[in-house]
Chains A and B, each alone.
Chain A
Amino acid sequence: MPKKSYPEVPFAAIVPCPTVENDKMVTGNWRSLRPVVDMEACTSCKTCWLMCPDASVNFDEAEGISFNLKYCKGCGICSSVCPVEAIRRVPELDFTD
């Protein structure tokens, strides 16, 4: 039997900082409820954007609020803090993607 092979490890376990996302810990698959925003109701107050623990609510001046589904854990904070209840939480099973 060949000996076990171990992963390459960096010097003293020192790793580079990420610049956009830490894709070594993708968490979108934790989600059972997906946030869905009604941009008609949204007032662009950006509270949901600021309060997301995972920086997974995006705000764009033109596009408005969107969600980074690669990382969103479905915690529901965005929905809860929205002052106008513009964000619903929809079961993941309802989506085909």
Chain B
Amino acid sequence: MPVQYEEIKSVKKAPEEEFYLPGHRTCAGCGPAVGYRLIAKAAGRNTIFLGPTGCMYVANTSYACGPWKVPWTHTQITNGGAVASGVEVAFKQLIKKGKIKDEFPNIIVMAGDGGSIDIGVQAASALFYRGHDVLFIMYDNESYANTGIQVSPMTPYGGNTTFTPPGPMIPEGKKLFPKDPMLIFAGGGHPAVKYAATASIAYPVDLMNKVRKGLAFEGPAFLHVHCPCPKGWTYPAERTIDLAKLAVQTGMWFLYELEDGVRTWSRKVDKLRPVEDYLLGQGRFTHLEPEHVAKLQAWVNERAQVLGLNATLPPVR
């Protein structure tokens, strides 16, 4: 029985009302800010946001204010999942006991890399295990950006950050390959998670519908949203959406849903562009040698195969 939600048909038909208003200290061209706006728009008025420490906390609430039209609370970077669990259970109890007359709200955690998959992973996992009716969204800008761009488990292989600077001893900068939160949270190890999806700000209608779908599912849902970061990735701010699109076109970001363990690709991709097309113009990759690029291409190709993407893959040179 497919889940019921009001689908957004197109960019033009996207809901007009804003819930993430003008007036926030995010960088010009901030990818996560685009994400927040779209997510808040899709979720609507009956929504409570939880913001673990990160860019979307510090930059948005500087100073003693915030751009959300809906209720929002800070959480520690460690406990977005836990605080959200408490909020959810409280609403259920208070409504059940007749202590409040509220309608059960959308409860959305907007956590960055760290708050989802690193320091916050324990709380997120527990939320998914316990089956709370919460939408946990990871805005992925591939670093600890708020603290000035340090490596996170989502930083790609070869990504230059202040903790992974390239040098003669470590020419690639970052040697490690990133975690895959989709597989971790929704790969079957958390049986209560019936719906998870990756999304990208380059595909706003797709993203907004995934938000609505995730909210419509009973129980926890997970969204992994790709949000390019002009400061962290070092590129001109106007390229944010362009780069997000290139990520999908090169397989540096895969766009799919996982519903009860079954994968559905969100876009038809016949052929992946070579990763160079994506790396070009990003300052965090300018130090890469051909052998590093080849490693990245090999990784993309392997992931495409493991995930079952039926597309022509670029050669590994």
Task: Name A's B-contacting residues (CB within 8 A).
Answer: 9-10, 13, 15, 17-27, 30, 44-47, 50-56, 68, 70-71, 73-77, 79-81, 89
Cross-chain contact B25 with A27 (CB below 8 angstroms): yes
Within 8 A of A (CB), among B260-300: none
Cross-chain contact B37 with A53 (CB below 8 angstroms): yes
Min CB distance, A25 to chain B, in Å?
5
Given A55-B18, A55-B37, A75-B28, verify A22-B67 contact (CB < 8 Å): yes
Cross-chain contact B241 with A20 (CB below 8 angstroms): no
Please indicate the chain A residues that have their CB under 8 angstroms from the CB of B25 in the complex. 25, 27
Smallest CB gap from B227: residue in A? A53
User: Which among B18, B31, B33, B68 is the interface contact of A17 at CB below 8 angstroms?
Assistant: B68
Please indicate the chain B residues that have their CB under 8 angstroms from the CB of A17 in the complex. 66, 68-72
Min CB distance, B75 to chain A, in Å?
14
Please indicate the chain B residues that have their CB under 8 angstroms from the CB of A56 in the complex. 22
Stretch from B57-65, B130-138, B159-167, B191-199 that touches the partner:
B57-65
Please indicate the chain A residues that have their CB under 8 angstroms from the CB of B33 in the complex. 53-54
Min CB distance, B61 to chain A, in Å?
9
Contact with A along B4-35 (1 / 0, CB 8 A): 00000001101000101111111011110110
Please indicate the chain B residues that have their CB under 8 angstroms from the CB of A9 in the complex. 64
Smallest CB gap from B242: residue in A? A80
Cross-chain contact B30 with A24 (CB below 8 angstroms): no
Cross-chain contact A26 with B28 (CB below 8 angstroms): no
User: Which among B24, B201, B230 is the interface contact of A54 at CB below 8 angstroms?
Assistant: B24
Smallest CB gap from A22: residue in B? B23
